[in-house]
Amino acid sequence: MNTLIAITGLGVLCLLFEIFNFRKGIIPFTIVGLLATLALTVNDYGTNASFYNNMIVVNNFSVTFSSLFIVLTIFLVALSHNFYESHPTKISDFIAIKIFMLSGAVAMVSFGNLAMFFLGIEILSIALYILCASDRLNLKSNESGMKYFLMGSFASGFILFGICLVYGAMGSFDVIEISELSRSAELPDWFFIGILLLTIGMLFKIAVVPFHFWAPDVYEGAPALTTATMSTLAKVVAMATLFKLLSVLNADISESFQIVIVVLSIASMTVGNIMALRQVNVKRMLAFSGISHAGFMLMTLLTLTTSASTLLYYAAAYSISGIAAFAVILYVCKNRDNEDITNFHGLGKTNPLLAAVLTGALLSMGGIPIFSGFFAKLFLFNQTIEAGYLVLVIVAVVNSIISIGYYFKLILAMYGKEPNEEKTGTPILYYSVAVVAIVINIVIGLFPSLVLDLM
Amino acid sequence: MDVSFILIILLIGAFATYFSGDKLAPKVALLFGLVSLGFSVYLLSLFNAGQNIDFISAWITKPSISFSLKADGLSLAMLLLNTALTPLIIFSAFGNEFRNAKNFYALILFMSFAMAGTFLAADGLLYYIFWELALIPIYFIALIWGNGDAEERKKAVVKFFIYTLAGSLFMLTAFIYLYGKAGSFLIEDLYKLELSSQEQLWIFLAFFLAYAIKIPIIPFHTWQAKVYQKAPTVGTMLLSGIMLKMGLYSVIRWQLPLAPSAAKEYMTIFIALGIAGVIYGSIVALRQKDLKKLLAYSSLAHVGLIAAGTYTLNLDGLRGAVLQMIAHGFVVVGLFFVAEIIYRRYETREISEMGGIRSQSPKFTSMFMILVLASVALPSTFNFIGEFTVLYSLSQIGIIWAILGGTTIILGAYYMLRMFQHVMLGETNAKLFKDVTTNETIVLVSIITFLLFFGIYPKPITDLITPSLENIITIINR
Amino acid sequence: MSTVLIIFCILAAVTLASAFMTIFTKNPIHSAIYLVICFFSIAGHYLLFNAQFLALVHIIVYSGAIMILMLFTLMLMNLNKEDEVHKPRITRLGAVVSFLLIISVLIAIFIQTKPIVGPYDTTGEDYQSIKVLGQVLLDQDNGFMVAFEFASILLLVAMIGAVLLSKKEKSSK
Amino acid sequence: MDINLALVLLLAPFLGFLANIFLGKSLGKNISGAIGTIAVVVSFAMSLFFFLQINQTGQPISIHLFDWIAISNFNIEFGFLLDQLSLLWLLFVTGIGSLIHLYSISYMHDDEKMHKFFAYLNLFVFFMITLVMGSNLLIMFIGWEGVGLCSYLLIGFWYKNQNYNDAAKKAFIMNRIGDLGFLVGIFIIGFMFNTLDFATLKATILAGNNLDAYWIAAAGLALFIGASGKSAQIPLYTWLPDAMAGPTPVSALIHAATMVTAGIFMITRLNFLFDLAPAIQDIIAVIGAITSLVAATIGLVQNDIKKVLAYSTVSQLGLMFLALGLGAYEIAVFHVITHAFFKACLFLGSGSVIHALHHEQDMRKMGGLRKAMPITFITMLISSLAISGIFPLSGFWSKDEILMTAYHQSPVLWVIGSLASILTAFYMFRLMYLTFFKEFRGSEEQKHHLHESPALLTFPLIVLAILAAIGGLISLPGHSWLNHYLEPLFSKAHEAHHLGTTEYMLMAIATVGALLGIGIAYAKYIKQAQVPEEDEKITGFSKVLYNKYYVDEVYEAIIVKPINLLSRFFRDYIETALASIVFGFGKAANELSFQGKKLQNGSIGFYLFAFVIGFCAIVSYLILAQKKF
Amino acid sequence: MDSVLNQIGIENYIFLSVALFCIGVFGVLYRRNAIIVFMSIEIMLNAVNLLFVAFSTYHQDAQGQVFVFFSMAVAAAEVAVGLAILVAIFRNLGSIDVANLKNLKG
């Protein structure tokens, strides 16, 4: 609860800063504030409490995921400094929206009532619609915002319908009550339909095949930093929320529902990876990569009771490497009108450090050892095989192989081609974010227990 | 003192090289290479004195993965192969100028680190991690410092990377499956597993895919020739000299003991694949125009024989395979270095553009000749010991295998001598060929000395590896 | 057939028909008007449930605020013409197919659900007067106060967003 | 003491090799030659020492140095064995070797890489000694391959000529085919008897345990293939004539006197094994006989003086194999020795001629050298008479013994052998007449420079000629010292032929046959003064003969060409096909990706359509799967 | 007061809601005019709201109606943001035809 209050307070403060014309201080202040919030959140670790009519529930799940989101937001805010250099008047709006988005995200993993969940996801979504369209003079950005908005609202309708049916079945929005009621023998079928609709709505947000079509277009059109936000923060938030929803509502994951998850997971991995192969736009490529990672993360739903820590680890590994990758992408594509792979030509020569970071990030996403991405996949596969889904793991393995194909396309471009032009200026924040992110990635790779044992 | 120090030395070496700057990097790398060699010899002496040099430490609790490094004779032999070849390979690069030399040499040491880890790891997952780690440096070495057309090189290198990774991911799956059964990745726990023959078959095949691609066994070899051709010679040496021995080592250490009944049941198929590699590789090597490609196919033929030896599942086969691995490691490094020496002077790898070198460079010719002879396993070279033992073990399985495998001594002689003839002999070449420099001589002479010495007196190596191989045979026959 | 049921049927017919017309009418202004009718009929449903406050809020928010906003936008953009080119047949076909599919699937599941047997409980307690609603909405211990306040953040975000998307930058020009 | 001396015997040539290869260039030609020669002479001296010793004691000396290769069920040791057989071989290898080294000092004096030549020659002697002295099959194999290597190096000594290199390569590879056979034989013996050591092997076999006739025959056959590779028997003989590309002393030493007899040595060494495989013995005899006849017929029409001698060597080796096949090992050994004397002499003589004519080898361009080179002429004449089997020269005795044995066992083989002998007499005298009689047919320039060779060249000739003349003494019928000497080696005692009427008649027939051959040659080349025709004009059967029955072409067509074709086919098609199969997955994925991009068409309607369809699919699946809803 | 549900039945409300919801879906798919698409989405949300109220009555519980307020807030916020985006597009493109939004694809 403290976290949520602190975050909203921080968001409001950001807006006040603008009023008092204190723009320069916004980003440092926000980062410090977020760090303080992080400390506050971490402080809650180990407690189990619920606040205000069980609207907000604090437990290890919410604390760890909230901390992850806060860390990601710190990175994203840090990246904002250079990214919004040309929009000095709007910086407070951008930062405030990001902070509020974080509050939505936190609400999504610590909700105790479906109302909080719904509001959280709407805050997150609306903030993202805005950020996507925020480059208001750029048609691509507009288009991306519009697409995301239309389809997101459409999906929201399904989520709302799902909540409605759950309510219809249970007569309550409180997850504890719902989960208690769901254990009783007499269970209206509406409940399952509701859960199903909720799940499908969330699958849309996570971008799982066949609900994934929006992701590449939106990622491509959105400003790069927003893409970073969507592909790291939004994705893991949605995934964690789906996980929490299904586990908290004590949804009976029947065999056929598991088969649906397996099929969706396979489809997501395969479609995401195969489609990514021929992409020239890096953001688009990472969108498809995100779709495939969503497929991977879906596997955790098969072992709901035991795989929270695996999901946390996977989400952390994936999003942190995503941050590192996007820090480099932002640097490279600054002042360019597209994010094509050609922009990365010769980065290994002109800027070996960032090239190395991007390489590390991509290797991590591809699942190469010592990077945390490898361990994430390892734990995931381990869990899934233990649950008896060997075929799924084999498909996942095949997909990991395919994914190397496009991750290496980018690495090849960096090291195998001659640079087009010299890049000037060394935005220190991009550097530090990139390096810190990759270091965190490697550290949790070398010591996975740091994250794994949190839950 | 335990084996973890060797890894630390190599890793520190990699970083030290990276931070020492382009000028100093080669020397620092060489220094660390030599130190690691010295240290591994010291470890060998400790091991022979009966001291425990294993290193075990917990790492990840859930799933339980431990940082466990164990050294038996086999591991030590492979470690020594690695640490002996690394400084040689580093030293062999002294004649070349590399852009960003610090990165280059650091990557070499890093690769050596990963390979040493692969040879020492006694925990399945740790082993897998090292196995994969070794892939990354060679990828960059080949990609950045390779030669030939950039586009083609990239294609070849990426194919190589994806292909080998593809194989090893199935191995990872197998490991995870085994973990599910054993609850531990530790090799001794995995050895204790009682698997049904169906399970064993799948495990065996999963491992086989990884190793067949890495080794490579036909028909999984398609990445090899291109990559050998395109990689810088140092990379080719690392690949052919040490890295593919990782695959063969792993067959002995992991694949056979983990799935012995599958190995026994389908033995002939895998021997046949190995032998097919021998014949196929030799025949393809006959008509290669590119020197490095020819050597690549010769490598294919030789490792085919080694692989066939490992799959015989008898002591001779394993012992011969290990001996041949070491011998082949040295000789192939030597031969690729020869190709590099020629390239330094003629800037070509096309055999047709060479010829008539002998009259200009007697020293070089002699050393090249000896390497060629070692490669065709002339008795009194180390290669003969290995090849003889492997062929002998094959003859125990069926004399026909020995005969088919033995064609290597005919075909091998054919393509190697043909190559030698077209590269070295004939009318004096119009282009000037300077005889070998001191640095080059040191590398070649060390290799040749090694091959000839152990060709006459292989006992130290045999004695080192035999107990551990006997142990593995016992496990296979459990 | 009771009166209530008849009213329900009429209201339902109006709701569905006006919703359909919203979509089928070519002129956007007419669409908006049909939509308003639809909203009113839904408000009628609410009244049928005796949820007067909600019906009122519904009319104020939807018909009053949202529809006005949309109409305003339509007028602003001068879009009150029937200028929409017909979608290609394949798109229309797709829309119809997906409509039929989704409605048949949804209806099918709900038909399959266990029928509710017996009379609905009526405790007679007041549960939808403004007083009760206010308590449920605003009580911090037994109500949705946090959610209510959180909704304000939602609106704040929407507001900042709308401003952000429309505001011209001084410095960039 | 013995061990040290034996090591001196073994290593002296090796030290000579090292000295020559590393220091030779700076030492100068004469010193380099001297070092090479002395190294071999030292070995000869040691061999003589041991020979005398064993002649007295009769005790073989076996030397164990260290364990070499460990095989699961036995160890292969690095050891040497000095017994009657090996010492006999050592004696003539180092003896003739010394002479030829001496000869080479002068012969190779003009070559700039003389030190290399001596190095290789020394190395050869070293490996030959290893081959002979090895105490087990694998040590023998070291020498076996080692001499093959030296043969390769020396045939291709003039490496600037690619034809010579081809010949060298061919020799090496054909030898390697045989070597594979040898190895297979070793494997069979290894797993049959768990030992490769000669002494143990002999003991085991004689003990009679564990004898599976089938496998013994297989081992025998494999080993015989090995021997036929080294000793140039059908079908692996074609490398030997080509090997004449090397310098003449090499031809004399390696390709006439020593290396090519390794096969005979090996079979004699393993006589106890072959005795148990009569079928293989028959094969050996038949192949030997056929080889001797075929090679002799080819030799009839060759015009290259060294080629004639080469085919003659093949033919004579065939006779030796005939003897081996008949179980008459000591006779084969006898012929090896006599053959070494006269064939070495002939080669060195031809070398002397070639030297005088400045590397002219075509007999059509020689003639009348008798006067210019009397010593060469006389020594070669003696040797020719010896090889033709004229009483009482050495060849007569040894060849006669072979034919006699053949007659007793199989008249057909005797007929073939005799025919080969007659032909031998003919072509040898064809060679003599064309080279030394009539008028000189070369250029004026050559004629002007005609001279007898220097003493360093003629001295070995004289020594060898003497040996060729009197060599028969070591095994005269009835009083064979050789048979007695070799007695301990053989499992079966061979009764000496007691000379009866048949034997005398056979001797007479052989002599008459040889004289017949000489007579025909005389008639043809002296009386009618024929000179062989130019290459193009040769027709009919002689063209077939001249082209060596087209065996090389046939081999080329049925083995070399197909392999090369196969190689190209593999390289161009199979490799790409395999690659495209494997990487086809990647291509397919890429293609899928390309097609998939069309699905991602940017239309919101389509995206939502997919959403709805996906939704409906999931829901209806769940309805159908669990009747719960 | 007697519950209306006793006379009408909750199923009918569900079917009505479903039908309305599906009409909304159909509208989103069928129309190209972005504003009409917005309206269709509103229809979808209203369908759900209706069902909320029905369930609220069904359970005799105020929470359902309270949730409708949140739903309305969300709808309002969405419309505000949506229209802002729409205006931006209209300024850049001169049209609000969603079929024109096909630049991002592939």
Residue A448: which residues within 8 A CB-CB, separation 6 or more? A313, A372, A375, A379, B60
Chain E residues closer than 8 Å to A111 by CB: none
Least reliable range by pLDDT among B13-22, D136-145, E5-14 = E5-14
Backbone angles phi, psi at C125, to 5 degrees: -70, 150
Q: What average pLDDT does range E32-60 have in this prediction?
A: 90
Cβ atoms of D545 and D300 closer than 8 Å: yes
Domain spans, chain C: 1-82, 126-168
The secondary structure of B325-342 as a DSSP string is: HHHHHHHHHHHHHHHHHH
Architecture of C1-82 per CATH?
A: Up-down Bundle (1.20)
What is chain D's mean pLDDT, rounded?
A: 85
Cβ atoms of A299 and A380 closer than 8 Å: yes
Burial of C53 (0-12, 13-18, 19+ CB in 10 A): middle
Within-domain flag for A55: no
pLDDT tops 70 at residue C172: no
Backbone angles phi, psi at B64, to 5 degrees: -75, 115
For chains E and C, tell me whether 3 or more CB atom pairs sit within 8 A of each other: yes
pLDDT tops 60 at residue B112: yes
Cβ atoms of B232 and B90 closer than 8 Å: no
Supply the pLDDT for residue A243.
Answer: 93
Rounded to the nearest 10 degrees, the angle between the axes of helix B150-182 and helix B124-133 is 180
Supply the pLDDT for residue C80.
Answer: 60
What confidence tier does C42 reach under pLDDT thresholds 50, 70, 90?
Answer: very high
Backbone angles phi, psi at D475, to 5 degrees: -145, 70
Most confident stretch, B63-67, B106-110, B286-290, D517-521: B106-110
**Each residue of A349-391: pLDDT tens digit?**
888 889 999 999 999 999 888 899 999 999 999 999 988 898 9
Q: How far apart are CA A147 and CA A273, in angstroms?
A: 22
User: Which pair of structure tokens corresponds to residue B333?
Assistant: 């490094």
Q: Find chains touching chain B: ≥3 CB pairs under 8 Å.
A: A, D
Residue at token pair 């590309």: D245
Q: Which of residues 482-521 of D touch B (CB under 8 A)?
A: none
What is chain A's mean pLDDT, rounded?
A: 90
What confidence tier does E81 reach under pLDDT thresholds 50, 70, 90?
Answer: very high
pLDDT tops 70 at residue A63: yes
Q: Quick check: E106 and D602 CB within 8 A?
A: yes
Domain spans, chain D: 306-546, 554-625
Which domain covers residue A385, as residue numbers?
Answer: 253-455
Q: How far is CA B318 from CA A165, B74, B260, in A?
A: 67, 10, 14
Enumerate the H helices of A55-138 as residue ranges.
60-83, 91-110, 114-132
Enumerate the H helices of B146-240 as residue ranges.
150-182, 187-191, 197-214, 224-230, 233-237
Q: What average pLDDT does range D145-171 have in this prediction?
A: 88
The distance of C170 to chain E (nearest Cα, Å) reads 17
Least reliable range by pLDDT among A186-190, B276-280, D258-262, D595-599 = A186-190
Chain B residues closer than 8 Å to D162 by CB: 421, 425-426
The distance of A222 to chain D (nearest Cα, Å) reads 14
Whether the upstream peptide bond of residue A216 has omega within 30° of 0, thus cis, is no
**Each residue of B71-98: pLDDT tens digit?**
889 999 999 999 999 999 999 988 788 8
Q: What average pLDDT does range D422-447 have in this prediction?
A: 82
Q: Does A122 touch chain E (CB under 8 A)?
A: yes
pLDDT tops 80 at residue D269: yes
Q: Quick check: E103 and D602 CB within 8 A?
A: yes
pLDDT tops 60 at residue C173: no
**Each residue of E4-28: pLDDT tens digit?**
777 788 888 899 999 999 999 999 9
**Each residue of D186-239: pLDDT tens digit?**
998 888 888 888 888 888 888 876 678 888 888 899 999 998 888 888 888 888
What is chain B's mean pLDDT, rounded?
A: 90
Chain D residues closer than 8 Å to C91 by CB: 603, 605-606
Helices and strands per DSSP (H, E), number in chain C = 7, 0
Q: How far apart are CA B150 and CA B147, in angstroms?
A: 7
Q: Find chains touching chain A: ≥3 CB pairs under 8 Å.
A: B, C, D, E
Q: Considering only residues A319 and D57, tell me which one the structure prediction assigns the higher pLDDT.
A: A319
Cβ atoms of A257 and D623 closer than 8 Å: no
Q: How far apart are CA D514 and CA D296, in angstroms?
A: 13
Q: How far apart are CA A105 and CA A124, in angstroms?
A: 6
pLDDT tops 80 at residue D54: yes
Supply the pLDDT for residue C119.
Answer: 61
Instruction: Give, rounded to a whole angstrom, the gap between the first and last alpha carbons of chain D.
Output: 101
Q: Considering only residues A255 and A363, tell me which one the structure prediction assigns the higher pLDDT.
A: A363
The whole-angstrom distance between residue B381's C-alpha and the CA centroid of its chain comes to 18
By Cβ distance, the residue of E99, E102, E106 closest to D597 is E106
Which letter does DSSP use for residue D367 in this model? -
Q: Does A244 touch chain E (CB under 8 A)?
A: no
Q: How far apart are CA B2 and CA A101, in angstroms?
A: 52
Q: Which of residues 39-58 of E touch A (CB under 8 A)?
A: 41, 44-45, 47-48, 51-52, 54-55, 58
Cβ atoms of D229 and D259 closer than 8 Å: no
Q: What average pLDDT does range A102-112 have in this prediction?
A: 93
How many CB pairs lie under 8 A apart between chains A and B?
85
Q: Helix, strand, coil: what percent of chain E each, to 5?
A: 80, 0, 15
What confidence tier does D629 reach under pLDDT thresholds 50, 70, 90?
Answer: very low
pLDDT tops 60 at residue D450: yes
Q: Quick check: E81 and A130 CB within 8 A?
A: yes
Task: Give the number of other Cβ atoms within 10 Å of residue A123's Cβ.
Answer: 29
Q: How far is CA E1 from CA C2, C49, D377, E10, E53, in A?
A: 15, 11, 146, 17, 17
Q: Quick check: E23 and C50 CB within 8 A?
A: no
Q: Quick check: C101 and D616 CB within 8 A?
A: yes
Within-domain flag for A287: yes
Q: What average pLDDT does range B268-279 have in this prediction?
A: 91
ipTM score of complex: 0.91
By Cβ distance, the residue of A55, A104, A134 closest to C164 is A134
pTM attached to this predicted model: 0.91
Counted domains in chain A: 1
Architecture of E4-98 per CATH?
A: Orthogonal Bundle (1.10)
User: Which pair of structure tokens corresponds to residue B37?
Assistant: 């060699």
